[in-house]
Chain A
């Protein structure tokens, strides 16, 4: 069985890959959504950009 024969580093790599890839994908999702919604707001209502 492949899983049983996997080295410790494959488990470590999987844990780190899942964590960092998921966070990067989520961050990109939030940023893209922010840009889409921001288009509908006048600049004076985006207080952070002033």
Chain B
């Protein structure tokens, strides 16, 4: 079913009639594109290499400007999944379920990026792509748990049962998120401790600015992806409900036809 073109806005802000875009998402997307260009300029050109200590990272410090922000974005995504799951269990409305599911998928993408960029960082600093270190292991476990969450959503057919089971798993899986974050403090770890603590950041000046800019950018990217992913999840739920309604109506019609007495004059 195709609707006429959306709105009278022309050019860059014109939207596909069937898509998940809105005027707000287009504006946010435009801001995001400009911010990405500025971020690349700051992170790769204007910010200086790390020369502060004996074990200074040099230009490799620039990996941190994407690694830490994508990790923050995945924490945020899983926090939203947990909150939306709790809200679903309380209110039982499909909007909360759609929000939890959308945020979990976006979070899994950010977690995969955290592992990938962390692996590159690890190879340069520790000489190995992977180490069974508390931070890395708990992050990998978090990744697998949320993949399991997405698999569960595909495995259960009944929408109400699926939403309830997913909400419980969305809450249980979130227990691992603080474990990931504090693992570097709780156990001996190869991974460095938090770069930005509340009162004493380990970096300063333009490097701190690049890192903070990266965090804002990652959260903007998360927000933009969520706008589209949540609308997609909502649309899929509506289409699924319509499909179920049609199937139920057909089944009822079949049952009615089966139970009706055979009209006289019709040979069996």
Q: Of A12, A14, A26, which one neighbours B109 at CB under 8 angstroms?
A: A26
- Contact, CB under 8 Å: A34 / B225: no
Q: When A12-B62, A22-B112, A34-B232 are in contact, do A49 and B3 touch as well, CB less than 8 Å?
A: yes
Instruction: Let me know if B123 is at the binding interface, CB within 8 A.
Output: yes
Given A8-B58, A11-B120, A12-B44, verify A38-B113 contact (CB < 8 Å).
no
| B70: interface (CB < 8 Å) | yes
Task: Tell me, yes or no, whether B236 is within 8 Å of chain A by CB.
Answer: yes
In the complex, B229 has a CB within 8 A of chain A: yes
* CB-based contact A38/B116 at 8 Å: no
A16 to B121, CA, bound (A): 12
Q: Is A38 a contact of B229 with CB atoms below 8 Å?
A: no
- Among A3, A11, A48, max chain B CB count under 10 A is at A48
A37 touches B117 (CB 8 A): no
Question: Which residues in window 70-85 of B have CB below 8 A to A?
Answer: 70
Q: Mark A1-45, 1 if CB is under 8 A from B, else 0.
A: 001000011011011101110110011001101111111111101
B51 within 8 A of A: no
- The answer on a CB contact under 8 Å between B22 and A49 is yes
Q: Is the CB of B16 within 8 A of A35?
A: yes
State whether B235 touches A37 (Cβ < 8 A): yes
Q: Which residues of A contact B238 (CB under 8 A)?
A: 41, 45
Given the contacts A3-B123, A11-B124, A19-B113, A41 and B20 also touching, CB distance less than 8 Å: no
Interface residues on B, range: 35 or more
* Residue among A19, A31, A39, A43 making CB contact with B117, cutoff 8 Å: A19
With contacts A8-B59, A30-B229 known, is A48 near B18, CB below 8 A?
no
Chain A hits for B231, CB < 8 A: 34, 46, 48
Q: Does B63 contact A (CB under 8 A)?
A: yes
Q: How large is the interface on A (under 10, 10 to 19, 20 to 34, 35 or more residues)?
A: 20 to 34
User: Do B225 and A40 touch (CB < 8 A)?
Assistant: no
Q: Report if B15 contacts A (CB, 8 A).
A: yes
- Chain B residues within an 8 Å CB radius of A3: 123
B60 at the interface (CB under 8 A from A): yes
A49 to B123, CA, bound (A): 46
C-alpha spacing A2/B15, complex, angstroms? 46
Contact of B18 among A8, A15, A22, A38 (CB under 8 A): A38
13 A–B contact pairs at CB < 8 A?
A8-B60, A9-B59, A16-B44, A18-B120, A26-B109, A26-B225, A31-B20, A38-B18, A38-B235, A41-B238, A46-B18, A46-B235, A48-B21
Q: Which residues of A contact B (CB under 8 A)?
A: 3, 8-9, 11-12, 14-16, 18-20, 22-23, 26-27, 30-31, 33-43, 45-46, 48-49
Contacts beyond the supplied A34-B231, A40-B242: 5 A-B pairs with Cβ under 8 Å: A38-B235, A40-B1, A40-B239, A49-B3, A49-B21
